[in-house]
Amino acid sequence: SGSEGGKTVYNKSDRHDTHTRTSDRHDTHTSTDRHDRHRKGGSNGNGGVSGDRHSGSHKGSGAGKSTKAKLRARAPRKTINKADRRAYRKRARKLYKKISGSRIKSRRYARYVQRYLLRQKRLYRSYGLKAHEYRKRLDATKPYGSKEWRRLYSKWYHYIRYQIHWYQRYMHFQRIRRRRFKYHSQTWWVLTKDINRYALRYKYFLKFYRSRIAYWRRGMNQQSKAYRRLQRARHRAKRARVWRRRRARYRYWTRHVWKYRRHSSKYTSAIEHLNARYKQILARYEAKNTYWTGRVDKQTACTRSFYRDNRWMGYYRRRLLRLYRNYNNFLGRRRRRLKRTTQEYQQVSKDKIELMRKLTGLYKNQTRRYKTVWACYKGNRKSRGYRKWRRYVRRSSRWTQRLRAGRRARQKRHAYRNRRKLWKYRVMGKRYQARFARIEARWQRVMAVYKRYQAYYAGKMSQRRLGGRWWRVAYYRWRRYSWRGYKWYSWYIRLLRRRRRYLKRFPDEYNKVSAQIVQLQKDRSAWYAAYKGAVSAWVTKLQAARGSGRAYRRVAKSQKRNASRGAWRQSWKDWRTNQRIVLRSRWGTSTHRVALYRTYKAMRACMVSWRHTARKYRHKLRGLKRGSRRYWHYYKYMLWWQRYVLFGYRRIGRFFRVYAHRMRRGSARRAWAVRTAAAYQVLMMRYFKYFRKNLKYRYRVSRRGGRARRYWRRWRSKYRRYYRRYRKGWRARRKARAKRYRRRIWRKRWGGKAQRKYEARVWRYWYRIWRYYVRRQHYYKKKLYRYRAGTHRWRIWFHRFRTSWARMLRWANWQIRFQKKMQRRFRSNQGRYKVYQSKIDRWNAWRRKLVDKWNGYLAYWANEVKSKRAKKMIARQTRRAGRYTNFRSLWKAYYYDRYYVLRSKVGDARYNQYQPKMAGDRKALLDWYKRRRDAYKARMDKYGARTRHYRRYFKLFMYYNWRIIRILRYDVRYHFRWLRMLRRHTDQYRAAKASLRVSRGELKAAYHANYAAIRHRYSQIRRNGREWKRWARWRRWYRHRMARRRARKYRRTYTRSAYWYHRFHKLRAGSTRWSHALKRMQWYYTRTRDSYKRWTAHWKGKLGVRRAGSRRWWYAFRRYRAYNRHLIHLYYWWMKFDARYRRFYKAGSAEYNAVNADREATRQEKDAAVKDYIATMQLYVGKIDQSKYARVYGKVNSFYMRYQKRYSTYRNPVKELRVAEHAWWALRATAQTDAGYLSAWNNMIAKREAVLKAYDGADANYRNKMAQYKNHRSRGYRYWFRRSILYRYYKWREMHRGAWFVRYRLRHGLTRGSQAYVNIENMWRNEWGRMALLYKNMKIRLRGRLHELSRRSREYQYWYRWYRWAVYKTRRYYRWKTAYARRRLARWRTAFWSYKYGDAQYVRRLRHVWSYWLRRWKNYIARMNRWRAAVRRHKLGHRAWRYSFRRSMRYAARGLKWIGWWIRFTRRRQRVFTKQGDGNYERLEKEVAAWSAFRTKYVGVVSARVKYWRGRLHSGSRAYRLVNIYYKTYSGRETWRSVYRTLRAEEYKAWRGSPDWAKIKEYRAKLVAFFDEHAKKWDDYVAKQPKASRKYIYGYRHMFWWKYYGLREYKRGWKIATAKKDQATADSDKAEAKKRYEELAGRLTKDQDGLVHSSWLYRALRGTVYWLGKYYAWTQK
């Protein structure tokens, strides 16, 4: 705490100050003024730094005493003598140097400042006391102006000048100290108050000085010497005051010129004021310099006047140099704010260059003149003058050297800048040549300086005493310029190597640059060899010399470092060389393996050497004093070697990433490389963090404004940029991982462990990025309030704040969309749904709050900023926010239109509401995008193609082009889905199809236009730059989209051809559709065949051009092989088509022969293609160099041998089997007991078994090869798995063919019940059983394979089709087995009625029927229970739940139907085998009653289950509609059953003799009305379906049966009425039956029109009409 104004003031930590809060200490200043003596506060014991960390009291200080009291105790009030003052000044200068090199938070810094201020205050007190003493004596000495008075005046003026200098020095020291603290921090304010206080004291002191001179002048004779002396002093004080004000105004304008916007009136006025002040001060300094220089040139050397004039000349020259430097810094700062292409920039550059020339010349001249004065004192080297002028010479020489070094740095910087810009231009263009000429000139200029200095210091080493101090200085500088020259050689060689890469198309230039590189490498080697040789020679000389131990040790260390450098540099060269070989060679070859091993070896050697060296320097630091020169020397070396380690980690990570991309996706090797790269990336980031910590410490302890601080600032900015880049990449990977997990989460079972794990991962990665965005936004917002609103820095931070806000908003939207999609998994009344809804509401509220805050920020800053540029920026952001709101309204309208159209039923109210608005909203949105795109296009065209603005506007232009493409893609999807909703062959359907075609054309045109724009941009920018890589990604995306579009178009063409291929054989030969299908098939075959032949010939021609076995040859061979195989398969397909096509014609007819001739021509083309393939492989097997291309040779040879082996192992046995099949088929008409027939049959069976055995062997062989691969995603495993499944399929094909032959023999020529029939029937069943085992085997293997693949992969989709095929075949087998068992049951039941009741045959057949019925019943109940359990397990209302519920109700209905079957079977047994009244009749009656009661209870259980699920579902859901169908069925069943039972009971009474015809008529009308209602529903359904489609047939069947049920009821009534001789009822029922029959038969006859007579539906309708006419002919009588 401190006190001020009599009050205690406690310091509070400033919010902008990051230093540790400490207590204030009392002021130690002493003044002659009594008010100052009692003033307190202002600074602490740390010299006025209340924010320093160690400014508190230290250990050992006196308790209870203030710092001021301690200092007063150490500094008594009596003055100090002259020797002590000189010692204090000397000590203060040393402390000043130590303070400049110390860290502000260290104890050492606080101690130095405290000591420095203590000595300064003692000096100040001593000067004040001495001046006060002489002033009193001057006042007492009379008269004024006497000799004694003049002597005392000289003493007094001496101490006055000391006081003036003290004030200036003290305030300068405090200002320098203040720079090291944060602006407006607490410490900064303390120092500012101290400076202002002493500035005020200085002002009053000068006023007092002038007043004393005026007072003494009044009592003097104006002609006296003393008066003239006082007059001169008065004039000097007045002039100093004027010039002090002018310099203050110059500094004022230097500071305030940056407040104004460039080119504004205030800015121009400030520049004019500054230039005027500069010229005014410059004119005086140059005039004074010229005056004193002229006086010096007239003087004799080494006289008193010569010394005096040199002193004044140096005084004004130093002021002139300081003014030059200050104005030069101002011009540099002004130039940095200008564009290089402006005239103002060029003018400022010229002024700066001219000023630097003046400055350099002035320094050179000053050094020469200082040396002249210094030579006067060389006789007495211990004198003050010698030391003083030596300091002047060294200081001036240092400035000269600094200027020369700055000039070299500018030359190098210009060379670096031209090197960066060099790659923008074409390598042989004029601008490229001009840039390179500049680089070469500057390189030679700098290299000449290095050579000159190296030779200069080598000569100095030879001249000076061996091993002495100045010899070591010359050695250090000689070594420095030797290494600089070596590095400069290396820099230029790297530049030429990169240039050479672009000259491959220009052999002359390429050879010229190569020769230049070789020559430079020789020069560099000679340079380095000369350096090493000189070091070795000096080591030998120093070893023999005496008194040179220190020099010997330093030179010996250099020799040792050279030796160690050679070791790791050789490893470094091996690393680079072998790494290039690894990335260029093919994986698996011997070259690749050897280079990879050598890369690992060199990599480890380099990293071990670098880490060991960095660790060695870190250990050296432990034994050194922190802050010493040696400490920082080793610290610098430690950072250098840590940088090498960091570079090594980065290179290793990049190598493994590139290495992984060279490998195949899914392979174990690639996964290992990716994991290794990630591990090294993490290791690099951790080491980077440690490195940045060390670098930050080194930077912070460097003196502000010093050379070391500038050096480490470059390091800090460079590696901070690298660290941010790597962190940005890390965030990008985290975002990509979150997106990847978000994609994967939908594939997992909901509520399972995997789903919960992925959800937690998504949240974790999302939240880490989110936390970073929030942190950065708070940081940027804090920065905004640190700078004046509207300034350049403020605009930079405002832009960053805006981007962070946008990223936060976008990332929050990402999370909201994710939560909404997660919410869809639950119903609105579930708890999880409400949990997600609360999260969504919270994030939406936060998002709205964020948007409102942003609008508030815009409104606030719009009032705060004053500059036009900042106002424009704020206005632009405000307009953008409004534009975003308008865009959102357009986007929502378009989105909801599209959504509700696709979610509604065609023709309903919601569909009619949104569908007409769709086109208008789409057009409005597209017009908005196009306006924005055209606006950016217009802005883009105003700038050059290489400018920053063009690059920015082109990016926005392409961005809105992509937005337009997104809408066009939505259009294609919308029209495609809309098309599927409409009925075929309607006007609306045809219009939608045309719209889809137009949308696809627009999308294609947009793809090509954007692709062309990116290709054009490629020609304007530098290859492999950041922009080039961005557009490379875009170009790749467009290329993939276009390729996918072409593939889908080809797929649609193939699908349409496949459709016509299948429809062709069901159409009537010669019909219009038949001809269209044939034409379509021929067009597709011709087009595809020509394409395959063209590409096959193209790639075969490439094989002959390229070197056999090379990488490009292998690429061409794979393409040739693929297209050749496609062509062969197409030939096979067309031959199969011709074989089925010729069936339409009679054998031997002209049409039949024409089709057969075409088939034979296709066969010949196929054989030619096969022979060409074999001949090509055989040719190149002999051409490929096995030693050089062993892998390619092995592949081609394996293809060749595999083809031959397959032909002999599989195709020859298949051909023999086909011959045997034809031989048996030719004998099929002969008797089956014939010996030739049986021999041919047995031969065919044996051949087939041999083929099946070969297929089993191939499958086992491939499965063994699959077992060798641990990674099931590897290429080899995929290949062998595919071969294995294919041979399983080949086996099934042969088994299926054999089963057909067995079935043919079973149906033709065998008598049912004979032993031969039984044998063949058993063979038939065995064939089906073997195929069933094969189906199950394939299904298991394919299911396992699907679990190993990603569901989104193309391979998964391929094998999923195979899996569905196996599942379909398995179900087909079980359907066949069930149907076969049912047919057996039907046969048993038919034979059952011919047996006698109760005998053995009766009981046996009854047991057979009961066992079959019970087996099926158990099967239905078991399946029903299984799917009931699945219903309880799945999420309510979900797709899986609906599927399971549908399956459970299916088996429940089948069980109910099966109960009814047994009840009907029992009643028939009752009617056939028993009579009413006997015991068996009653027993069967009880059995029927029991089964009927069980059926009633069964229906009640099913109905209750349906009611339960109906009550739990939402009324508008899809699942509710499904359950409601069953609810209507089972809950409305009782009403229908009551009508049906009542009618049947009345009919039974009528048969018994007591008919109630009115009641029978009433209930029959009710029952038929129910049938007619259902028939009407299915009739409406049929009217909406395309004719002859699958849904049409399905609905038509239901419609027919309900109409037939009504017709059958009236037939039943006519029979009863006719039997009971009620003619009126009989006539009524007959008329109604006739009416319904004619209506139904007419409908069936009419629906035959337009159908092909060979189609199934036509035959079904015609047969049904025939059947109706036969069984209802009585209605026509």
pLDDT tens-place string over residues 840-862: 999 999 888 888 888 888 888 88
Q: What is the 3-state secondary structure (H, E, C) of 567-589?
A: HHHHHHHHHHHHHHHHHHCCCCC
Q: What are the backbone angles phi and psi of residue 224, rounded to the nearest 5°?
A: -80, 160
Q: Which residue has the higher pLDDT, 1207 or 311?
A: 311
Decide if 1203 contacts 1177 (C-beta within 8 A): yes
Q: What are the backbone angles phi and psi of residue 4, rounded to the nearest 5°?
A: -150, 130
pLDDT at 16: 34
Whether the per-residue pLDDT at 1213 is higher than 90: the answer is no
Whether the per-residue pLDDT at 23 is higher than 70: the answer is no
Single out the residue of 1103, 1132, 1106 nearest to residue 1118, CA to CA: 1103
Mean pLDDT, residues 883-910 taken together:
83
Mean pLDDT, residues 1597-1611 taken together:
92
Decide if 606 contacts 648 (C-beta within 8 A): yes
Mean pLDDT, residues 1413-1440 taken together:
91
- Give the Cα separation of 1606 and 1631 in Å (integer): 13
pLDDT at 495: 93
pLDDT in tens, 1364-1405: 999 999 998 988 888 888 787 787 778 788 888 888 888 888
| Helix, strand, coil content of the chain in percent (nearest 5) | 80, 0, 20
pLDDT in tens, 486-510: 999 999 999 999 999 888 888 899 9
Mean pLDDT, residues 1179-1188 taken together:
86
Looking up tokens 């069930």 gives: 1378
Vertex 1487: Cα angle to 1481 and 1489 (nearest 5): 100
Predicted TM-score (pTM) above 0.95: no
Residue 76: cis peptide before it, omega within 30 degrees of 0: no
- Give the Cα separation of 134 and 153 in Å (integer): 8
Decide if 765 contacts 738 (C-beta within 8 A): yes
pLDDT in tens, 1299-1347: 999 999 988 888 877 888 889 989 998 999 999 999 999 999 999 999 8
Measure Cα distances from 1634 to 515, 1579, 1597, 1627, 1673 in Å: 110, 21, 21, 10, 9
pLDDT at 7: 33
Question: HSE of 1161 in the Cβ direction (CA atoms, 13 Å)?
Answer: 7
Whether the per-residue pLDDT at 1606 is higher than 60: the answer is yes
Single out the residue of 1069, 1060, 1124 nearest to residue 1094, CA to CA: 1124
pLDDT at 229: 86
Mean pLDDT, residues 74-102 taken together:
71
pLDDT in tens, 258-308: 888 777 888 889 889 999 999 999 999 999 999 998 888 888 888 888 888
Per-residue tokens: 1267 = 């077992």
pLDDT at 884: 67
pLDDT in tens, 620-664: 888 887 777 788 888 888 988 999 999 999 999 989 988 888 777
DSSP string, 1363-1390: HHHHHHHHHHHHHHHHHHHHHHHHHHHH
Whether the per-residue pLDDT at 440 is higher than 60: the answer is yes
- Give the Cα separation of 494 and 516 in Å (integer): 12
Q: How confident is the model at residue 704 (pLDDT cuts 50, 70, 90)?
A: low
- Those residues with Cβ within 8 angstroms of residue 260's Cβ, 6 or more apart along the chain or in another chain: 266, 267, 270
Q: How confident is the model at residue 1448 (pLDDT cuts 50, 70, 90)?
A: very high
Please count the other Cβ atoms lying within 10 Å of the Cβ belonging to residue 1559. 15
The top-scoring range by mean pLDDT among 314-323, 883-892, 1209-1218 is 314-323
Mean pLDDT, residues 38-61 taken together:
36
pLDDT at 811: 87
Vertex 951: Cα angle to 947 and 952 (nearest 5): 115
Q: What are the backbone angles phi and psi of residue 1311, rounded to the nearest 5°?
A: -95, 130
pLDDT in tens, 938-990: 999 988 888 888 998 999 999 999 999 999 999 998 888 888 888 877 888 88
Task: Tell me the average pLDDT of the chain.
Answer: 85
pLDDT at 190: 92
To 10 degrees, the CA torsion angle through 168, 170, 176, 180?
-160
pLDDT at 784: 86
DSSP string, 1453-1521: HHHHHHHHHHHHHHHHHHHHH--TTSHHHHHHHHHHHHHHHHHHHHHHHHHHHHHHHHHHS-TTSHHHH
pLDDT at 261: 75
pLDDT in tens, 1039-1080: 888 888 888 888 888 888 888 888 887 788 888 888 988 998
- Give the Cα separation of 1345 and 1343 in Å (integer): 5
- Give the Cα separation of 50 and 11 in Å (integer): 9
pLDDT at 78: 52
Q: Which amino acid is at 812?
A: A
pLDDT at 1665: 92
pLDDT in tens, 1224-1260: 999 988 888 899 999 999 999 999 999 999 999 989 9
- Those residues with Cβ within 8 angstroms of residue 721's Cβ, 6 or more apart along the chain or in another chain: none
pLDDT at 101: 64
pLDDT at 968: 93
Mean pLDDT, residues 778-802 taken together:
86
pLDDT at 1208: 67
pLDDT at 1065: 79
Q: How confident is the model at residue 699 (pLDDT cuts 50, 70, 90)?
A: confident
Whether the per-residue pLDDT at 192 is higher than 90: the answer is yes
Q: Which residue has the higher pLDDT, 1277 or 699?
A: 1277
pLDDT at 27: 33
Q: How far is CA 114 from the centre of its chain?
A: 56
Q: How confident is the model at residue 2 (pLDDT cuts 50, 70, 90)?
A: very low
Q: How far is CA 1432 from the centre of its chain?
A: 41
pLDDT at 15: 31
Helices (H), 1553-1648: 1557-1583, 1590-1619, 1623-1646
Vertex 1112: Cα angle to 1109 and 1113 (nearest 5): 40
Whether the per-residue pLDDT at 1219 is higher than 50: the answer is yes
**What percent of the chain has pLDDT above 90?**
29
Mean pLDDT, residues 184-202 taken together:
90
Looking up tokens 């496949």 gives: 1058
Q: How far is CA 29 from the centre of its chain?
A: 63
Whether the per-residue pLDDT at 25 is higher than 80: the answer is no
Q: How confident is the model at residue 1635 (pLDDT cuts 50, 70, 90)?
A: very high
